[in-house]
Amino acid sequence: MTATLPQILATFGSGAVWLALLAGVIGGLFVGAMPGLSATMGVALLVPFTFGMPIMPALALLIGVYCGAIYGGTITAILIRTPGTPASAATIFDGFPLAQRGEGGRALAVAAAAAVSGGLIGTLLLILLAPQISGFALRFGAPEYCALAVCGLTMIVAVAADHPVKGAVAALGGLLLATVGIDPISGYPRYIFGAVSLMEGVSFIPALIGLFAVAEALRVADAGPTPVTRAAAPHGWIVGRWDALRCAWTTVKSAVIGTLVGAMPGAGCDIAAFLGYSEARRAARPDEPFGAGEVKGIAAPEAAKTGATSGAMIPLLALGIPGDSVTAVMIGAFVIHGLQPGPLMFKEQHGLVYSVFALMLVAHLAVYVFGTIGARMFLRLVDVDRRFLAPVILLLSVVGAYAMRGNMVDVWLMLGFGALGYGMHRGNFPVAPLILALILGPMAEENYRRALVMSDGSLAIFWQRPIAVALLLLAAASIALAVRRRRSSRVASKSAAGP
Amino acid sequence: MKRHLNIDPIAGAGVMVVSVAAAIGALRFPTPSGAVPGPALFPLVISAILAAFGVVLLVSGLRSASPTTRDAPTMRRMAGLLGLTVIYAALMPLLGFVAASALFLTLAIRFLGYVHGWRTGAVALATAFVVFWLFAVVMKVPLPEGWIG
């Protein structure tokens, strides 16, 4: 612990860290404000930029983009009714009516204050909870790690997919892809078809650039030319005392909800924002005009979604399991710098983990400052013609995949995954389970086989360990919930269609 | 022109083919002696479950009465853009990064319907140089030089 504070001070004493963090926040705000571009795509495209960087500026850049992009969509959601990211969609309900009444500045001020409060509360919860969870995870053996991987995968399938079968197909496809390469236990090469470059397995970075950036560039081009945006220039950026007082409890409650939702694998910022909004609306008094410009309806989704960004870091840092698709991409950044997130990183790289916490805190504050003073500029950037944007994203995708190992095989792999990602989008298959399965596949397989070796081939070992049993029951419960939700939505759509 | 196509049965059949092929491949992996699980165990288990989900997707897709709409011009635009990117990747080691990137950007931007000639070329060249500077000069990542550079 004594070495932790000097390391945090050294991190923030570095100009490169500040530069990377601020560049990340500004770039992230732009990515978030641009409809069609997601935080995941922004982080995926930037991971190759971090190859030559020391670890702390690299993480500062990625955390800055993540936090910036999650807030960036709010500006366009409130002022022009176009959410830059799905996470900002819930802010439209009350933000846009307020902007229509000429109170866009007030709406943005409430949103920014709630977002920064949600981010700070979420990060404090991260600092409190993550060490406890990682300390607990140090007791895990092979059966527990296998059960944890199964639990993470079933939860993401249950939460991320409207169609659980398609989510399961995506996850199982990812698990199968994760078996490509040299078998870590026997050393036997699997599914490499004579290609030496596949011996280390399917390269993660080209896969995620393809699945997220290329597929997204094709979707952006799909949308055609951008209509020029004109919104009334709002005035007044500081949240009023009365608004701050009215929204205080809603903000705290939504931030806690958002953090807990974000900590669940697969449940990202968008789900957190809608849950935060629903809870605020449920708890509202009858005279509060939800849906017609109620400030609590802006504060709730904003606090929840930024709380979720910190929440998603809890399983990433404590267990090595990403909480959403952005943190799944971040695992790639940790790995290329020789770090494996999880309980051991907490034990052995204490200073680094606490520096990440500090970066999260500063990133949320920087988003508040730049998101508030730069709102008008980001609104103008939305006018960039998408016919320029899509080819530039494709170019950066090719360079990013090539830059990793100076290898054209990675470029072809990336393009293949791009076509797959776009096809999955057209067929309504979720991509997040596939990418999570690529990460969790080796963890699930190695620990499954180790557990069987420990028990001389008996599966009973999974039922003899209480933590593994609890995790497997949680996995079963998440599947049951997904099936039930699917059935009830079918019944609802049938009854809506009428006899 | 919009055509109606139900993707789910095709996806289900594709998933079944892939999982059967993966299972056949896994059956060729060596089997260790004793109770120790070998390299084939996990791919076989995953392939079997995946095949089962493929059947579910196929059957539910055939039963479903809601076909997905396929927009032919959109599909052509996407295929064209992806095709240009493939040609760009193939030409990059031959022409070099800057030349191939500028050419790709010019063609892709025009392909997407932007017809302002000199502006397209200027944006393409400037972007290619900026990305080259960022990667090759700032990040010290070697990029293909090719015949032109």
Judged by CB atoms closer than 8 Å, whether chains meet at B11 and A406 is answered as no
Alpha carbons A428 and A7: distance in angstroms, whole number? 45
Which structure tokens are listed for B119?
């502006």
- Tell me the pLDDT tens digit for each residue of A163-215: 788 989 999 999 999 999 998 888 889 998 888 888 888 888 888 888 888 88
User: How far apart (Å, rounded) are the C-alpha atoms in residues A316 and A126?
Assistant: 11
* B103 contacts chain A (CB < 8 A): no
A110: its two tokens: 């409430």
Q: Closest-CA residue in chain B for A177?
A: B43
CA triplet A476, A480, A485: central angle to 5 degrees? Answer: 150
Structure-block tokens of residue A317: 């840092």
Q: Which of B74, B82, B127, B137 to mutate to test the interface with A (most CBs of A within 10 A)?
A: B82
B30 touches chain A (CB under 8 A): yes
Q: Is B14 helix (H, G, I), strand (E, B) or coil?
A: helix
Nearby residues of A203 by Cβ (< 8 Å), 6 or more positions away: A404, A405, A410, A413
Chain B residues whose beta carbon lies within 8 Å of the beta carbon of residue A487: none
CB A306 within 8 A of CB A67: yes
Q: Cβ of A399 and B46 within 8 Å?
A: no
Band (pLDDT 50/70/90 cuts) for residue A425 is: confident
Banded model confidence at residue A499, pLDDT cuts 50, 70, 90: very low
Task: Please report residues of B whose CB lies closer than 8 A to that of A217.
Answer: 81
CA-based nearest residue to A68, from A375, A370, A325, A390? A370
Of B26, B35, B78, the CB nearest to A456: B35
Query: Chain A contacts of B15, Cβ < 8 Å?
Result: 169, 173
A110-129 per-position pLDDT tens digit: 999 999 999 999 999 999 88
Is the whole-model pTM more than 0.90? no
CA distance to partner chain B, nearest, from residue A85 (Å):
22
Please say whether the beta carbons of A70 and A357 come within 8 A: no
pLDDT tens-digit readout, A71-84: 888 887 888 777 77
Contacting residues of B for A224, CB less than 8 Å apart? 113
In the predicted structure, residue B122 carries a pLDDT above the cut 70: yes
Interface contact flag, A52 B139, Cβ < 8 Å? yes
Give B60 to chain A, closest Cα distance, Å. 10
Between the alpha carbon of residue A203 and those of residues A279, A390, A431, A435, the distances in Å are: 41, 24, 16, 12
DSSP state of B67: P
Contact A190, B43 (CB under 8 A): yes
pLDDT in tens, A227-275: 545 555 555 567 777 888 888 999 999 999 999 888 877 667 878 888 8
User: In whole angstroms, what is the distance from residue A206 CA to residue A219 CA?
Assistant: 19
DSSP state of A196: G
pLDDT tens digit string along A460-485? Answer: 888 889 999 999 998 898 888 877 77
Q: Inter-chain contact B82–A179, Cβ cutoff 8 Å?
A: no
Q: Spell out which residues of chain B touch residue A214, defining contact as CB-CB under 8 Å.
A: 85
Per-residue DSSP letters for A257-300?
Answer: HHHHHHHSTT--HHHHHHHHHHHHHHT--TTS-TTTT-THHHHH
Cβ contact A418–B15 (<8 Å): no
- Give the closest of A165, A191, A422 to B56, CB-based: A165
Q: B4 — phi, psi (to 5°)?
A: -100, 130
- Interface contact flag, B35 A172, Cβ < 8 Å: no
The nearest alpha carbon in chain B to A402 belongs to B143
Instruction: State whether ipTM is beyond 0.85.
Output: yes
Angle subtended by helix axes B97-111 and B72-95, to nearest 10: 170
From B74, which residue of chain A is nearest by alpha-carbon distance? A222
B20 and chain A in contact, CB less than 8 A: no
Strand runs (DSSP E) across A100-200, as ranges?
A: 181-182, 189-190
How far does B148 lie from chain A, in Å, by closest CA? 17
DSSP secondary structure of A354-414: HHHHHHHHHHHHHHHHHHHHTHHHHHHHTTS-HHHHHHHHHHHHHHHHHHHHT-HHHHHHH
